[in-house]
Amino acid sequence: MRLLASLRRVSDGVNHVAIVVCVACILFMLGISFTAFLYKLATGSTLSWTYSLARLFLPWIGFLSMTISLRYGEHVAMTLLVRSLPRLLLKVAAGLCLGVIALFALMLVWYGWVYFEGASQVYMVSDQIQIHSKFTAIVVPLSGLIILLHLVQGFDLLEHFIDDETMIEELIESNDTEERS
């Protein structure tokens, strides 16, 4: 149990770091775009590199946001259907859901690593700014690892199963009563 509690703290810490990195990426994008806007106002011409540089942060924002939303239970779910299931099927559905999430995370790690290793291009943002494509490719397996780490949270990831405990308990009791009748 200590190991699980420690892993859950690590998961929470990694989630906090992911939030900070995601916010930093958004701020960098906004800063680059605002710089381009001010330059256009001041000179009347555009900076050719701003769009290319700003879009390199999009994969980081997208993939890290995915891990953050998973941690808070804000992922695609069929809550109404699941809530109407009997208790046993509710647990089975939760287990299947965690299994599918784990499979998705493993695929992100496996295929993302292959993608990262094969990334050989260099993005020519400008004559002076060149960024290797591995910068954007590494976020794919990294996000898979973060999702796998978050799985130590167990059913807490599936907030749609437990976010309104009284309603769920009422549904479970009513389903159990109907089954006995």
Dump pLDDT digits (tens) for 11-66.
999 999 999 999 999 999 999 999 999 999 999 898 888 888 888 999 999 999 99
pLDDT beyond 60 at 161: no
Give the per-residue pLDDT at 164: 53
pLDDT in tens, 110-141: 999 999 999 998 887 777 788 889 999 999 99
Residue 31 to residue 51: CA distance in whole angstroms: 11
pLDDT at 93: 82
Is the Cα dihedral 155, 161, 165, 171 positive or negative?
A: negative
Residue 68 has pLDDT above 70, yes or no: yes
CB atoms inside a 10 Å sphere around CB 141: 21
| pLDDT tops 60 at residue 107 | yes
Q: Average pLDDT for residues 83-100, to the nearest whole number?
A: 83
Q: CB within 8 A of 102, min separation 6: which ones?
A: 148, 151
Q: Which range has the worst mean pLDDT, 31-35, 81-85, 152-156?
A: 81-85
- What is the mean pLDDT of the segment spanning 156-180? 60
Is residue 1 scored above 80 in pLDDT?
A: no
Higher-scoring residue by pLDDT: 4, 28: 28
- pLDDT reading at 176 higher than 80: no
Show the tokens assigned to 109. Answer: 């790690």
Does pTM top 0.75 for this prediction?
A: yes
Give me the pLDDT at residue 125, please: 76
What whole-number distance in Å separates Cα of residue 120 and Cα of residue 117? 8
Instruction: Report the C-alpha gap between 7 and 142 in whole angstroms.
Output: 17
DSSP string, 107-163: HHHHHHHHHHHH---EEESSSS-EEETHHHHTHHHHHHHHHHHHGGGGGGG-HHHHT
